[in-house]
Structure 1
């Protein structure tokens, strides 16, 4: 039923996005159409990556979900940078970290916990990811803010570029560590007794859907970005709120759906890999790539966030580490993460 609704939304949304853009319909109406269309397209991307995850295994499957889920946000952010909306891009990166750790993780733990009393996942992966989260979010994001007060704009940008290159190298090294040199070394019993599951789509059908969905998202995203400033003025929303909440939720819709589906199926290892792995990918790959891409545009983007953004991200990281480091979760821990996300959402709305 839900899949049928998303199919109808894509069939109607993509043509309406094209027609509305050409005929200059109301920006507020088009903003709504663009958001709903991207969410529907993201659902197809989620189903395709889920099919690939069944074939590839939990770690690679989680990586695929995170990668193609973040592809939507990366596309939106590049077009936003082109329009000079660097504050919106930084806010959307903040929203991705908060959304993945607190919203996606929280919903997965909560909904999965309603069906199963306890859900286990690989404690070694959780501890490995904890160190990377501290490095990527706390070290790499806080350091530029601290040093920027003693630097001019050019030096701050140079620092951001240097940090970005280091983050990308370390992210690729982390993938090499998990998928090549230490693949299977820290295997958890839940991964050994993985029940056999048939993928919904064949590999080539899934790849084709991913490719076409990504092209459609690229087109709709460019149009979405052009409406942000007018929508911000119409509703009285700050660019910070639009970036942290609206753009982040739309951009990460595929991961939200995939992680929850995996949690309901008691494949918590994949759900956690999507939530935490996606956060790491945003912090260590997407954000650095956007910094480097911004060098091609007039308005360059450094890795300098506002203090509310930084404090919110650091809090989310420590709360997630405290809850997930034992490799065991339940619905109450999910509710705790969701409560933190709602509190931060209210704060960003009122700024």
Structure 2
């Protein structure tokens, strides 16, 4: 499988470069770029696994989420420059839904088929649950409600204020997990397993591969963004569907692949950290950063989602919390999360 992904990268990236210079049709470029991003994500997944063994599940999962969300951030910045604010907000929604329901669901489902009962750190799950409720239910709903009686300038000001608070709280949360309380709530079984496992790559090599893969994905993603409008017309996809489903899946392919690999190896602490940690990073860091970056763009982006996007995210958060808060998972819980994702996907397609 690794050879296949290597071949796809070796073929897909040069074709992307060639196609961008020769102005190939948008549909051809869309599929070439999408396949290239997914193939590159396999290398990011292997690098993450090596880092998780060397540095522990929290740091490994955080690094994977950070490098993976860098792709999402880059795609969104290019979309902001193109004035596609609806696509950006929809892609943020899709990332939340994709990480919690699709990644979490597939991880629980595939891991649960191989292992009847999988365990992960219940303390981390409980801690993350509180942050998820804050990020989505509090910080995303407040701008939606208050903006109803505000003008555009006041809505932007409110969005900026909330964005700064969210970034500060997110950084404080990292300081809590990685500095003041690092090792306090470690999962003993995972620590024992990691001691007897050798990483595929050294820490330095894994970091270099993560960095290089992210840079290449950034280039491919820029070309991918330019295909959205034409592909949407050809397939009858709305701007909302492209953002919630297509951009979110392609932009977060790295986390998707890594979490599934971890779950199949019964490393649920890493898989859950990737799914939840990536969601928190999107909601509490990437989204606020995009709001601040948009201040320097021709068109500013308020932190105001549509009602359908908000309802979908809130539903996903409470369903994920209910499933994950016991520190155990099985294939049926994974199937439940996947079913919720499919239902929402159908809804967004038909909107």
Q: Same fold (TM over 0.5)?
A: yes
Could you list the per-position Cα deviations for residues 59-110 of structure 1 after superposition, in whole angstroms to 9, with x for gaps in the alignment? 1111111111111111111111111111101001000000000000001111
Q: Whole-Å Cα distance in 2 between the matches of residues 291 and 190 of structure 1?
A: 41
| Aligned position for 2:244 | 244
Q: Whole-Å Cα distance in 1 between the matches of residues 180 and 10 of structure 2?
A: 44
TM-score, normalization by structure 1: 0.98
Paired positions, count: 350
**Local SS of the residue matching 1:266:** coil
Pairing of 1:24-173 with structure 2 (within 5 A): 24-173=23-172
1:120–1:190 contact (8 Å) kept in structure 2: no
1:50–1:65 contact (8 Å) kept in structure 2: no
Q: Whole-Å Cα distance in 2 between the matches of residues 332 and 164 of structure 1?
A: 37
Displacement of 1:49: 2.0
Displacement of 1:267: 0.9
| Aligned position for 1:256 | 256
1:39–1:254 contact (8 Å) kept in structure 2: yes
Could you list the per-position Cα deviations for residues 232-264 of structure 1 after superposition, in whole angstroms to 9, with x for gaps in the alignment? 111110010001001100011111111111111
| Aligned position for 2:179 | 180
**Local SS of the residue matching 2:140:** helix
Pairing of 1:217-228 with structure 2 (within 5 A): 217-228=217-228
**Local SS of the residue matching 2:51:** helix
Unpaired runs of 5+ in structure 1? Answer: none
Unpaired runs of 5+ in structure 2? Answer: none
Displacement of 1:205: 1.9
Q: Whole-Å Cα distance in 2 between the matches of residues 190 and 148 of structure 1?
A: 48
1:121–1:190 contact (8 Å) kept in structure 2: no
Which consecutive segments of 4 or more residues in structure 1 shift more than 3 A? Answer: none
**Local SS of the residue matching 1:193:** helix
1:109–1:329 contact (8 Å) kept in structure 2: yes
Cα separation, partners in 2 of 1:53 and 1:188, compared to 1, 3 Å? closer
Pairing of 1:185-224 with structure 2 (within 5 A): 185-195=184-194, 196-224=196-224
Q: Whole-Å Cα distance in 1 between the matches of residues 312 and 53 of structure 2?
A: 34
**Local SS of the residue matching 1:301:** coil
Displacement of 1:202: 1.7
Q: Whole-Å Cα distance in 1 between the matches of residues 316 and 215 of structure 2?
A: 32
**Matching of residue 23 in structure 1 with residue 34 in structure 2:** no
Q: Whole-Å Cα distance in 2 between the matches of residues 299 and 221 of structure 1?
A: 21
Q: Whole-Å Cα distance in 2 between the matches of residues 107 and 18 of structure 1?
A: 33
Displacement of 1:194: 2.5
Displacement of 1:200: 1.1
| Aligned position for 1:325 | 325
| Aligned position for 1:273 | 273
**Matching of residue 235 in structure 1 with residue 222 in structure 2:** no
Q: Whole-Å Cα distance in 2 between the matches of residues 254 and 71 of structure 1?
A: 10
Displacement of 1:188: 2.8
Could you list the per-position Cα deviations for residues 149-187 of structure 1 after superposition, in whole angstroms to 9, with x for gaps in the alignment? 010111101111111100000000000101111112222
**Local SS of the residue matching 2:333:** helix
2:112–2:329 contact (8 Å) kept in structure 1: yes
Q: Whole-Å Cα distance in 2 between the matches of residues 92 and 46 of structure 1?
A: 22
Q: Whole-Å Cα distance in 1 between the matches of residues 47 and 282 of structure 2?
A: 21
Q: Whole-Å Cα distance in 1 between the matches of residues 47 and 187 of structure 2?
A: 26
Q: Whole-Å Cα distance in 2 between the matches of residues 120 and 190 of structure 1?
A: 9
Cα separation, partners in 2 of 1:316 and 1:200, compared to 1, 3 Å? same
| Aligned position for 2:349 | 349
Displacement of 1:208: 2.0
RMSD: 1.0
